[in-house]
């Protein structure tokens, strides 16, 4: 499977059908939900296709992403998902200067806090759009942890305590 071709096709069809945000949400959700065990199961030649389809149906995704997933399933190429996701993010970033940022907090951000955070991140990344994926994390007592791809900016209370411990 040519990953770049699959990504370009998904992007084009989503854009043509005004479904880009839904495809973005679907891929973001899958990126968080899919783990190596699930991917291995979906690629396994010994698992019945109906059982694989049942697992796939548990994910709430848009119809275009669903079509891509069905093709990955059909050709036992689910192991390509991570590469597809990374290529997707890279493609959007190149085209639109859109950044997808994971934000970990103790409690849900208010709409005003979200707007301020998005504005600050847009300035920092010189982006035309920032999409924040908010995660409520019970390990965050206070503060915020921001992750973009493999980079982390951790300003949680726990991290500050750990930094203080290392200084002592």
pTM over 0.85: no
Higher pLDDT pick, 113 / 162 = 113
In the chain, domain spans:
3-92, 97-167
**pLDDT per residue as tens digits for the range 15-47:** 999 999 999 999 999 999 999 999 999 999 999
CATH for the stretch 3-92: 1.10.520
The CA-atom distances, in angstroms, between 167 and each of 61, 113, 153, 154, 161 are: 46, 31, 19, 17, 10
């Amino acid at each position: 499977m040519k990953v770049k071709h699959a990504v370009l096709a998904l992007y084009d069809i989503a854009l043509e059908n005004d479904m880009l945000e839904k495809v973005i949400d679907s891929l973001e959700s899958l990126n968080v939900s899919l783990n190596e065990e699930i991917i291995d199961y979906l690629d396994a030649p010994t698992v019945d296709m109906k059982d694989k389809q049942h697992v796939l149906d548990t994910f709430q995704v848009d119809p275009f992403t669903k079509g891509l997933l069905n093709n990955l399933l059909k050709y036992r190429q689910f192991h390509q998902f991570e590469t597809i996701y990374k290529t997707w993010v890279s493609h959007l970033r190149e085209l639109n200067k859109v950044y997808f940022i994971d934000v970990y907090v103790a409690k849900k951000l208010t709409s005003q806090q979200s707007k301020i955070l998005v504005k600050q991140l847009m300035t920092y990344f010189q982006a035309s759009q920032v999409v924040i994926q908010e995660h409520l994390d019970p390990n965050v007592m206070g503060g915020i942890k921001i992750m973009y791809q493999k980079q982390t900016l951790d300003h949680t209370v726990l991290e500050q305590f750990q930094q203080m411990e290392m200084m002592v």
